[in-house]
A = this chain, B = another copy of it.
Amino acid sequence: MSRPDLAVEIAGIKLKNPVITASGTFGYGREYAEFIDLNRLGALVTKTITFQPRSGNPVPRICETPSGMLNSIGLQNNGAEAFAANDLPWLAQFDLPVIVSIGGDDIDQYCRVTKFISQVEGVSALEVNISCPNVKFGGLGFGRDPRMAADLVAKIRTCSTLPLIVKLSPNVGDIVAIAQAVVRAGAQAISLINTVLGMAVDIESKRPRLKSVVGGLSGPAIKPIALRMVWEVAKAIDVPVIGIGGIASAADALEFILAGAGAVAVGTAVFMDPQSPIKIIEGIEEYLTKNGYDKISDIVGALEIAE
């Protein structure tokens, strides 16, 4: 029997398999190149880049929670120019689609980073992060309101011809409405979910565990929430969904794929095990082989709902 075909197409870019590393947990790939062969990944999404450098939030920036963690890194990055000068050329040595995650506080900032990134080499697609809960102005607002989200995406669409992925925030009442709005505005794929707003308290010091009080919850704890949103959105829109949230094993990834995700991204799990993206790729292949499927697309959205 021949090996199953894992290739997928997301927003017009071809990935050799559906396993992507999520934004913010994998840096720009460099640090993990010692642990895994980056050539094996379906794609890499960079830590979110803003046009200007940003210093991020004060520490403590993270905290462990039951089956999850909170973070409030706050979009620390060296800015688009430094990224293009130092990181993109390094990534070019790999046979690996690079998806650049972009952020900003207002439409103008998003457009500037979009234009800048669109004219440099080695970028396969843009992922618009309208959902980072850690930026006080902008980020959160865009992700919570369908109209604001759509306006932003429409504007970014005019600034670039790169494939456009939009990453949504789960901190909303109606995720489907937001997804539909950004697809109408030009999104060619949807990533979801970003982190869920959460908090933790140290009862001994009587202080919040994160200096910024509130942060984003990620990891296996949020998997059921992410899966539900992916399922709801995948049914409602015509572009691919990249499923994200608590994926730590091939079984987790397959849950998302069966629920309708055309690809998945692995975030927090790389902290537990840097090998996890590779193990997930291998596990998906094994599952397809064992169950007699020729290709991954046979199981995308193949969830069976009884009557």
Cβ-closest 10 pairs across A and B: A198-B224, A66-B220, A67-B67, A221-B221, A66-B67, A199-B228, A201-B255, A172-B173, A203-B254, A199-B227
Selected from B201, B211, B231, B304, the residue in CB contact (under 8 A) with A199 is: B231
Contact, CB under 8 Å: A206 / B67: no
Query: With A66-B246, A258-B203, A287-B203 as given contacts, are A225 and B197 in contact (CB-CB < 8 Å)?
Result: yes
Determine how many copies of this chain the complex contains: 2
Determine the distance from Cα of A154 to Cα of B305 in the docked complex, in whole angstroms: 39
Asked if residues B207 and A306 are in contact (CB atoms below 8 Å), the reply is: yes
Chain B: minimal CB distance from A195 (Å): 10
A223 pairs with B65, CB closer than 8 A: yes
In angstroms, how far is the closest chain B Cβ from the Cβ of A32? 23
With a cutoff of 8 Å between Cβ atoms, the chain B residues found around residue A65 in the complex are: 220, 223-224
| Neighbouring B residues of A57 by C-beta, 8 Å | none
Q: Considering the chains assembled together, what is the distance between the CA atoms of A198 and B197 in angstroms?
A: 16
Distance from A269 Cβ to chain B, minimum over Cβ atoms (Å)? 11
Q: Is A68 an interface residue (CB 8 A)?
A: yes
Q: 1/0 contact trace for A110-151 toward B, CB 8 Å?
A: 000000000000000000000000000000000010000000
A201 to B259, Cβ gap below 8 A?
yes
A70 within 8 A of partner (CB): yes
B-chain residues with CB within 8 Å of residue A221 when the two chains form the complex: 66-68, 220-222, 224
Binding site for B on A (CB under 8 A): 65-68, 70, 144, 171-174, 196-201, 203, 205-208, 211, 213-214, 217, 219-225, 227-228, 231, 246, 251, 254-255, 258-259, 287, 299, 302-306
B213 touches A305 (CB 8 A): yes
Does B198 contact A228, Cβ atoms closer than 8 Å?
Answer: yes
Of listed A66, A214, A305, residue having the most chain B CB within 10 A = A66
Cβ of B197 and Cβ of A303 under 8 Å apart?
Answer: no
A200 engages B255 (CB within 8 Å): yes
Contact B213 A200, beta carbon cutoff 8 Å: no
Q: Given the complex, which residues of B lie within 8 Å of A299, measured CB to CB? A: 206
Instruction: Tell whether, in the assembled complex, residue A224 and residue B228 are in contact, meaning their CB atoms are under 8 Å apart.
Output: no
